[in-house]
Chains A and B, each alone.
Chain A
Amino acid sequence: MKTRRDFIKAGFALGASFSLSDLSGLYAADAATAPAPGGSRSILVAVRDGDRVAMLDKALAELGGIGAFVKPGQTVLIKPNIGWDVPPERGANTHPDLVARLITLCREAGAKSVSVFDNTCDEWTLSYANSGIEKAAREAGATVVNGKDESLYRQTDVPNGVKLKSAKVHSLALDSDVFINVPVLKHHSGSLMTSAMKNLMGIVWDRRAYHRADLHQCIADLLTRVKPTLNIVDAYHPMVRNGPRGKSVEDVIVLKTLLASRDIVAVDAAAAKLLGHQPTDVRHVQLAAAHGLGTLDLDQVDIRRLRLA
């Protein structure tokens, strides 16, 4: 059996072989993401004490506005967490207000199309409806896509994956010009925490394969192939126990926080701290850092702490 140390070694080895020039070719917009020695540091915006829309607006302004991410004529995928057939106040799904605001901003920035989907855990039409996201997204002008249509997923190699060598990934995640990842922050009974990285299981068809092959490693591996342009974590009222589905509204605490960064590792490291964990406690965050996919050490991140009240 492999120990954690072995995994980290393997991860570092891969991270080293995964050069920055390769990365920049694949993700031109992500130049600031990788922790290059001497390069610019990742920026993480953390906003507190506003409503979701105000915190989003503030965070995006700090990152240069939505125009820094979405150019006119581009296709945009917004990937919230719509995993469960529960209402917004339960905190199991990304809040519809946040999703709607983001769609509006993308459309105002001239996006050709904005699509929204998730490969849900509960029945998808019920989850889409009860989460409030379907209605909010439609009204804001997005195309709401069936995440349970296997024909929309494409078998894709993950050449740099340690455990995940190939996966069926949603074509919108592969083909959209801009990919905005909008998870909700929650406790998770299996992976300790679910935030930005774990949310990307919803762009993959076969979740069980992840669980069989080593959940954390697969979560990190997929990022070597598909990486969001921007990550916005809804931590307004994170679920702190009974996650990821939760049992009742008693499972959430009010934090009134929103995190945003191009660096998915940094954003999840900060999210872990919001739940009282060390970033290294969450193994997939650590493994992703070992892949060279972002900055784990928050001291190395340019954190912009903003308060709205």
Chain B
Amino acid sequence: MGARLRWIRRTVAAAFLVGLAFAFVDFRHLAPERLGHALASVQFVPSALSLLTGASFSIACLVVLAATLAVGRVYCGAICPLGLLQDVIRRVSRLLNQAPPFLKYAPARSWIRHGFLWATALAIVAGWGGLALAVLDPYSNFGRLFSALVRPVVTLANNALVHAFPSLASHGWYRVDVVWASLGVISVALTVLVVIGVMSALRGRLYCNTVCPVGTLLGMLSRRAAYRLSINSRRCKRCAECLKVCRAQCIDLRTRQIDASRCVACFDCLSVCKEAALAYEYSWKKPQPEVDTAPAVPEPSTNFSAGRRAFVSNSLTSILSALGGLTLLARGGGGEGAEPARPQRHRGNHGEGHGGEHSGKRHREHHDAGPICPPGSGSREAFLSRCTACQLCISACPTRVLQPAFLEYGIAGLMKPRFDLAVAFCNFDCTRCGDVCPTGAIDALALPEKQVTRVGVAHFDRRLCIVDQNGTDCAACSEHCPTKAVHTVPFRENLRLPEVDESLCIGCGACEFACPVQPTKAITVSPKLVHERASKAREEKASTPVPTNDFPF
């Protein structure tokens, strides 16, 4: 049975690890958006966020909870990509002889584990869930490592290959520009990589069993799971074969106990035990006196009380999480009424206003500051509380206009996607960021809806414009504008000067990207803290400038 369970676990794990790694690294956008979205949507934190904020009826998190209570932490052992990545790191470092051949049993670090879990729960209640979940969600951490670090490296390798073998071009290979995230973002991702890398190389799933709040939460359930691993004291010869394969340091051969709260259900021990001393079986039956034919081990009383404690604490956590979810819901669904309460970062030294009523002396002073968040995210406030910064949208964005923020949104927006109009602009006929988002932070807008969703608005400064300054035609801005909010009007002798119709503008940033003026662009897009709806004028059929039935020359 052990071998078969392991086989199933490995197959599922490989599918999730390879699938998600591909989705995050996919610099050619070869995989359909559905792949990344499907694999990400069943991850615990994204699904829970999506369900609790009412973004979608995502029951994957409930299934994970139920499954954990039934059969243990199979989520950690086969589905969570960060867990699987740690298994890979441990395996590789063992192959390189850089890791201990086996890990001794270590007692649980309960205070640290529960500390992280409670801190997360409290943060959610206090309105800092967006930051806490972004920092601690294991799936999102995986996404950041692969999107910010692995993807550029793979792209560079692709480019080196294309350069070395030009004949690859005829097979559809091409060079792809590498867009590095900002130094701050890279540093954060690298730090996480080093921490997780060292922990997993030296101590297996230590991260999952000390830091990860999802691991701790699920551990509370798996401690009392219906199906659990146990050691038959009479059969076990303490050969320690199981220890050699255990990644969680949860098998205590001294007492022949397995800490089910830390076991990630990899089933490796089960398949290596030569004495058949390990059993994975139903354990909710009443404790009964040991008999020779029944290897079931009664739970020691300490374990039982621990289980009860866990159950109580678990219930509390659930209540807290639900409360946190409601908080999120209230913020996210508030729409116009939920004017951001958090102080926003403003450029310049003006007052608090972010409407158009303050007339600043300098051009941009009366506009909202900071980055633009993706179409479908509703408002910056809702977005920052719902996004876990997994980077799936950043990986899926075809133009690369979505780039991870460092501190542009403030600390709560660390690594979350923002428009970077120096890199590109938002493609008009695209809804990929919303299509892939697993948390509901970016709604999957229908294309016609997205095309009238105003995430920002363009401001034209004629004093910087080439047409006015140099007296030559330009209009790169209006050329790129998909809604013709930016158009041109006759100017001086035979010139065409840009003009912005704000009612049509959706803030895609094409104009700012295209503007050739250096160093400050003559047309810039400022964010809308609460996204708006642009109007869309229906146009009549164009009339013909000349008779169309003959040659006009």
Chain A residues at the B interface, C-beta cutoff of 8 Å: 1-2, 4, 46, 48, 85-86, 121-123, 125-126, 130, 143, 145-146, 148-151, 188-192, 207-212, 214-217, 240-242, 244-245, 247-248, 250-255, 257, 269-270, 273-276, 281, 283, 298, 303, 305
Contact = CB atoms under 8 A, between A and B. Distances in A.
Interface in B518-553: 518, 539-546, 548, 551-553
Nearest to A244: B479
B482 A245 contact: yes
A48 B481 CA distance: 32
Given A126-B427, A240-B542, A192 B175 contact: no
Of B399, B424, B541, B551, the most chain A CB neighbours within 10 A belong to B551
B118 interface: no
A250 B537 CA distance: 12
Given A126-B427, A207-B476, A212-B466, A253 B553 contact: no
Contacts of B472: 214-217
B357 interface: no
Given A85-B429, A121-B514, 16 more contacts: A1-B471, A85-B428, A86-B429, A126-B398, A150-B177, A189-B475, A189-B488, A190-B474, A190-B476, A215-B473, A242-B487, A247-B484, A253-B544, A255-B548, A281-B494, A305-B551
Given A212-B466, A250-B539, A190 B488 contact: yes
A130 B429 contact: yes
Contacts of A130: 429
B480 A283 contact: no
B175 A151 contact: yes
B174 interface: yes
A184 B506 CA distance: 28
Contact of A46 (B163, B478, B514, B553): B553
A250 B169 CA distance: 38
Contacts of B274: none
A6 to B, nearest CB: 11
Given A189-B496, A190-B473, A242 B484 contact: yes
B544 A145 contact: no
B222 interface: no
B333 interface: no
A146 B175 CA distance: 8
A85 B427 contact: yes
Interface in B424-444: 424, 427-430
A248 B539 contact: yes
Interface string B462-496: 00001000111111101111111001100001101
A208 B516 contact: yes
A123 B479 contact: no
Contact of A303 (B484, B517, B540, B553): B553
Contacts of A269: 553
B358 interface: no
Nearest to A194: B479
B474 A123 contact: no
A176 B224 CA distance: 73
B177 A148 contact: yes
Contacts of B398: 123, 125-126
B4 interface: no
A192 B473 CA distance: 9
B34 interface: no
5 contacts: A150-B177, A242-B484, A250-B539, A254-B548, A275-B546
B488 to A, nearest CB: 5
A48 B175 CA distance: 41
Interface in B408-425: 424
Contact of B473 (A252, A255, A275, A283): A283
10 interchain residue pairs of minimum CB distance: A190-B475, A276-B545, A208-B516, A211-B516, A146-B174, A189-B478, A214-B472, A149-B175, A273-B552, A189-B488
B170 interface: yes
B109 interface: no
Contacts of A188: 475, 479
Of A150, A211, A214, A274, the most chain B CB neighbours within 10 A belong to A211
Contacts of A1: 470-471
B170 A143 contact: yes
A189 B470 contact: no
B345 interface: no
